[in-house]
Structures are given as C-alpha cells and as structure tokens.
Amino acid sequence: MKTADLIIDSSEKNADLYYATGFLAPDPYIYFKVDGRSYVMMSDLEIDRARKTAKVSRVLSLSKYTKMASTPKKAATKLDAVALALRERGVKRLRVPQSMSFVDVEYLKKHFKVEPGPLPFYPERMKKGKDELKEIEVAQRFIFKAMAVAEEIIGKASIKDDKLYLDGEPLTSERVRSEIELFLYRNGFITTDGTIVACGNDSIDPHNFGSGVLRPNRPIIVDIFPRSKKSLFFGDATRTFCKGRAPEELKRLYATVKEAQEEAIRRIRPGVNGQDIHKWILSYFEKKGYKTGEMGGRMQGFFHSTGHGIGLELHEAPLRIGPVDFKLEAGFVTSVEPGLYYKKIGGVRIEDLVYITKGGAEVIGRYPKRLEIE
C-alpha cells in the first residue's frame, strides 16, 4: 500500500514542515512526500517564491488542482485538491502529524487510511549536523552578548531605599528586558516567546517573566531564549545575578546549583539515560539540605526538568533530561538548567546548551557564572 507523508500547516509554526521544505511562510500550505519525491501545493500568492526557494522535488499549483477537483455543483476545497494530487500518485495511506486538525483528519479518512506519525514528525532533526550546530552556536554567541548588556545595566545601577536606580530612575525588569530584546532584534533575533528578568519573589516562579523595580541583595534570574530571524534556530541560556551583597543563604544556594549543573554536564554522554542525571541532581540537592515539594502553600525546591532539546523549536520533544525515561544520543543538543527556588531566599537557575558527542558533552559558548555584581 503506497504511503505518503502529509503536513498542512504554517512553516512559521511547524518546525517539521520547515525542516522538510526550507520554505518559510506565515499561512498554511500543503506538503507531501511519496516515492521519495517531495511536493508543496502553493497558492498563487506564494507559488513563484516557492519555485525559487522551496527545497522540494516539485511545486504544484493549489488553484490548478482546486479547479480540477471542482464540479459544476460544488467548488472544491484545498483538501479536495490535495486528495486529488495524492490519488494521482496512487497513494492509499497517509502518515500525518499528531498535531493535524481533527477536521482535516476526518476528511482525509474518507479517502485514505490515516495514521499518526512520530513526535517529532521527522525524528532525524533531533540530531544536529554541522550547519545546524553552527546556527545554534551563533544564537548562543549573541545571547551571551545580550547577557553582558543586562549585566552591565544592573552593574551600573546604584542602590537607594532598597531599590536599584539608573539615570535617576528606578531600574525595572521591563527596562532590562527591553534593552536585551532591542540588542537581539538589531542583531537578527526575535524574542516572541519573551525574556525573563525576574527578581526576588518573582524569581521563585521559573516561568515568571518578572516585573517592577529590581532590588539589591536579591537574586535576579535572566533567561534569554531568542530565535534567529534568518535560520529559525533557537538559543537558550540563563544566569542568576545579585546586585550588592548576596546573603550567605543565597550564596550557598547559588554554589549548590552551579556544582549540580557542572556535574550534570560531566555525566552527559551517549547511552546515558537523562532520567538518571535528573534523579542524581534531586538526590544531590537533598543531600545538601534542599528538599523539593509543596511547602508553605507552593512548590519549592527543584520542580522542573534538568534539560530539554532545542533547535527549530525552543523545547524540542521528546528530548528531555527529566523524570521521564529517555536515552541520550550523539548529535543531540540539550539545555542543562537545574534550579532551586525558595520563598525565603529566592530562585537560582544556571543554564547552558551542550552538544552531545561520542565522548561526552561540549558546552556551546561560554559566559561567566558569577552571582554578585558590584
């Protein structure tokens, strides 16, 4: 039974579609692959651009196939058009993404046997080639330059009335975030998923973007994860700073997270189960006196995964260093980002990306891990 891969989506949103075609478009378009040949069906608006840049065997006209599939009594839809193109090529069975819309799947079931593909749809994109790794390295390089911008701004601030001031005004999370994002935009990166600059109580929620005035002697988590406008690859890195004098309990928390992160990186190699690394970190934190669980009406301790895959998606499933069983392989790129979060101290997270080689893990890019900013 002849089978075709089929994706109907926007390549701005669907990393598998962009991986397959190399064609970026905001509106959904149709891609299918059968007998080793790949096709896109494009609207009249995009067809000429696709003919020039899409990395496929052939570009088909959606309007042409829509006319061919229409009858005097009924105008055909794009699904009628793609069904016709697939039948022309003898396709009987379709493999589709798990994210395909229910309506589209129900229609296709009337004409073909439909089965879900894996997650990601093209698992081979989890392993990064030379060119893909280079794009992630570029992203990390600019992230660390943006991190330096943030550190410099915080460093220039003065302390008054338990607040940070810069240029005579209170220094806020919003201002630091704007400077980070402006620098990245000027250098070809977008931050549509946001940027975290979270101080004090905000820092104990790992995904709190942070707001309001930054304060001295408290942790400030800066987590930067932009996407390249050119390559669409993401980068991701986190550092935790403290303007002024960090309390001893914060210094100890920071040192513990730093030690855990560096040991986790040393443990990464092909064949190792990410779950074992995550369990080791939890155990290490426990031995240092840092428990995880619901305390004082909220989660405290270490309650997120140690790492996630990254590439054309910020969180590239199914790669995880976390509570789920998952074996690491050479060619993967993963974050390594343990953290500890407590109401009375604040949050600390340190994150780098690593490329897994046959011999272990190579950190992508370098930036100092220092807590206090004078």
Q: Residues 286-326: pLDDT tens digits? A: 999 999 999 999 999 999 999 999 999 999 999 999 999 99
Residue of 303, 143, 315 lying closest to 237 (CA atoms): 143
pLDDT of residue 188: 98
The one-character DSSP state at 71 is: B
- Distance (Å, whole) CA 197 – CA 326: 31
Mean pLDDT taken over the chain: 97
Domain range list for the chain? 3-125, 127-373
Rg of the chain in Å (alpha carbons): 24
pLDDT of residue 183: 99
The token pair that represents 226 in the structure block = 């932009």
Q: Is the peptide bond before 368 cis (omega within 30 degrees of 0)?
A: no
The token pair that represents 76 in the structure block = 């055909």
pLDDT in tens, 65-110: 999 999 988 999 999 999 999 999 999 999 999 999 999 999 999 9
How confident is the model over 359-371, as a mean pLDDT? 98
The contacts of residue 55 (CB under 8 Å, 6+ apart) are 21, 22, 23
Instruction: Report how many helices (DSSP H) and strands (DSSP E) the chain contains, helices first.
Output: 9, 24
End-to-end CA distance of the chain: 69
Class of domain 127-373: alpha beta
Query: Is the pLDDT reported for residue 156 higher than 90?
Result: yes
pLDDT of residue 374: 83
How confident is the model over 229-250, as a mean pLDDT? 98
**For the residues of 123-181, what is the DSSP string, one character each?**
GGGGS--HHHHHHHHHHHHHHHHHHHHHHHHHHH-EEETTEEEETTEE-BHHHHHHHHH
Query: Is the pLDDT reported for residue 250 higher than 90?
Result: yes
CATH of 3-125, one of 1.10.20.10, 3.30.70.60, 3.40.350.10, 1.10.3720.10: 3.40.350.10
pLDDT of residue 107: 96
The one-character DSSP state at 201 is: G
Name residue 58's beta-bridge partners. Answer: 39
Q: How far is CA 266 from CA 98, 176, 214, 270, in A?
A: 35, 33, 34, 12
The one-character DSSP state at 290 is: -
pLDDT of residue 58: 98
What is the greatest pairwise CA distance in the chain? Answer: 80
Position 334: which residue type? T
pLDDT of residue 63: 97
How confident is the model over 44-62, as a mean pLDDT? 98
